[in-house]
């Protein structure tokens, strides 16, 4: 009897739709490696000044597919001369279902997808530097969740400031 009640209740309960997320494809969109001061740079003592820049952008494709591109630019300078310049655009196409609320979808696109792409970009950067015969360099892990949270906080503050300015009485 208890089994009948549980079975009946399970059949009558509406089935919750699980949020849809699938990685459709991960690929290199653009790769660049330059050593503008070689071979002279190889004769200098290797004490580089490293500059790393990262950026993400996304575009909605058809049928809930989004392309997310993580761009990493790394420049190494020795004695004010560029030893190497690496730029990698690691991209992915992700299916993100409509059933996700907008804040959660924004988090997926702004943090989860870049977290997925980062290991691929990191490996590509390390391989390019190695093939250029420079010492090993590994990018440090990045907390895209924290970066996304800061971005959202900054947007909220800007929206509050704009609202306050719009509500201020004219003098």
CATH code: domain 28-136 is 3.10.420.10
The confidence score (pLDDT) of residue 6 equals: 52
Structure confidence by residue, pLDDT tens digits, 89-121: 999 999 999 888 888 999 999 999 999 999 999
Provide mean pLDDT across the span 33-47. Answer: 96
Q: How far is CA 148 from CA 28, 94, 114, 122, 151, in A?
A: 23, 18, 10, 19, 5
* CB < 8 Å & 24+ apart, contacts of 61-67: 61/93, 63/95, 64/20, 64/95, 64/96, 64/97, 64/98, 65/24, 65/93, 65/94, 65/95, 65/96, 66/93, 66/94, 66/95, 66/96, 66/109, 66/113, 67/91, 67/92, 67/93, 67/94
Q: How many CB atoms lie within 10 A of CB 132?
A: 15
Banded pLDDT at 169 (limits 50, 70, 90): low
| Alpha helices per DSSP H over the chain | 2-12, 102-107, 113-131, 144-167
**Cα–chain center distance at 134:** 26
Structure confidence by residue, pLDDT tens digits, 45-69: 999 999 999 999 999 999 899 999 9
Residue bearing the bigger pLDDT, 3 or 32:
32
């Amino acid at each position: 009897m208890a089994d009948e009640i549980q079975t009946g209740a399970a059949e009558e309960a509406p089935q919750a739709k699980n949020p849809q997320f699938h990685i459709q494809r991960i690929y290199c969109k653009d790769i660049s490696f330059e050593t503008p001061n070689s071979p002279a740079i190889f004769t200098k003592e290797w004490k580089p000044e490293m500059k790393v820049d990262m950026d993400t952008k996304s575009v909605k494709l058809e049928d809930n597919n989004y392309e997310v591109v993580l761009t990493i630019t790394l420049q190494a300078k020795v004695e004010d001369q560029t030893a190497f310049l690496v730029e990698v655009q690691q991209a992915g196409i992700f299916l993100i279902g409509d059933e996700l609320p907008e804040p959660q979808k924004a988090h997926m696109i702004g943090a989860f997808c870049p977290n997925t792409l980062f290991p691929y970009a990191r490996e590509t950067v390390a391989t390019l530097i190695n093939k250029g015969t420079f010492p090993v360099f590994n990018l440090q892990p990045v907390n895209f969740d924290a970066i996304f949270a800061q971005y959202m906080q900054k947007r909220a503050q800007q929206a509050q400031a704009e609202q306050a300015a719009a509500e201020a009485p004219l003098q």
